[in-house]
Amino acid sequence: MSSTKITARWAFNVSEWNPSDEQYQQILSFIQPEEKSRINRSYFIEDAKLSLIGRCLMRLLFCKLYKYDWNTIQFSRTERNKPILVTPKMKDSDPIINFNISHHGDWVVLVASENSLIGVDVMKVELPSNQTLEYFFETLKDRFSDYEWSTITNQNYTEFQQLHQFYQFWCLKESYVKAIGLGLSLDLRSIEFHLSNEESSLIENPQ
């Protein structure tokens, strides 16, 4: 039986990266034309930088850990928009490499594993602009189990602690959904997470 192996957990703080226009364009030229076109359509430069670093991390994963040539690497997307490696073709004897990427705020994160599904999600702990905590919670309450929601809204927490707890559960759910590749078709209430210090456990179809 193939064993599971986590091969990468990478994080990049984009706020600390301030390339010149020349450097930015040079790095942009390193990726596939369709990726470049998608990034160039970004309305904000901050979003473009996040996307660009994400694509570069994906390429670096296969160059650094699996010794692929940068110029031979080609990515595509599944019907659910999940990035996948299409070339070079892997051998039957090679491990199945799964990877996932997320970006928000100042951070881009990538995780990868051999012979197991993997997902990741990152969110900046902040309210959407012009929304109160009460309104924000009300619009998303139905994505959480009763247990999760009672944990999030613990009355002993400050508003920031409640928001932090919210995003912990949210990122766990999003990571799981991204790992199994179901996207929006999965009812998020059908999965329940329990947190304990730095670990979490998953319960499917909680009663």
- CATH number for position 88: 3.90.470.20
- Answer whether residue 149 is part of any domain: yes
Q: Residue 10: its pLDDT value, please?
A: 97
Distances from the Cα of 203 to the Cαs of 23, 146, 184, in angstroms?
47, 13, 19
Distances from the Cα of 192 to the Cαs of 16, 51, 147, 175, in angstroms?
35, 30, 8, 13
Q: Are residues 147 and 186 in the same domain?
A: yes
Q: Are residues 151 and 67 in the same domain?
A: no
Q: Are residues 110 and 149 in the same domain?
A: no
Domain that holds residue 37: 5-114
Q: Count how many domains the chain has.
A: 2
Tokens of 128: 């959407």
- Answer whether residue 41 is part of any domain: yes
- Answer whether residue 128 is part of any domain: no
Q: Are residues 96 and 19 in the same domain?
A: yes
Strand arrangement, sheet containing 107-114: 5-13, 107-114, 97-104
Q: Are residues 11 and 76 in the same domain?
A: yes
Q: Are residues 99 and 177 in the same domain?
A: no
- Answer whether residue 121 is part of any domain: no
Q: Are residues 59 and 148 in the same domain?
A: no
Q: Are residues 59 and 98 in the same domain?
A: yes
Q: Residue 22: its pLDDT value, please?
A: 96
Q: Residue 150: its pLDDT value, please?
A: 96
- Answer whether residue 86 is part of any domain: yes
Query: Reduced to 3 states, what is the DSSP secondary structure of residue 41?
Result: coil
- Answer whether residue 122 is part of any domain: no
Q: Are residues 105 and 199 in the same domain?
A: no
Q: Are residues 184 and 99 in the same domain?
A: no
- Answer whether residue 120 is part of any domain: no
Q: Are residues 68 and 110 in the same domain?
A: yes
- Answer whether residue 182 is part of any domain: yes
Q: Which of these three, 72, 87, 114, is where a domain ends?
A: 114
Q: Are residues 22 and 100 in the same domain?
A: yes
Q: Residue 79: its pLDDT value, please?
A: 80
pLDDT in tens, the chain (207 residues): 455 677 899 999 999 999 999 999 999 999 999 999 999 999 899 999 999 999 999 999 999 988 899 999 999 988 877 888 998 887 777 888 899 999 999 999 999 999 899 999 999 999 999 999 999 999 999 999 999 999 999 999 999 999 999 999 999 999 999 998 877 678 898 999 998 776 666 666 665
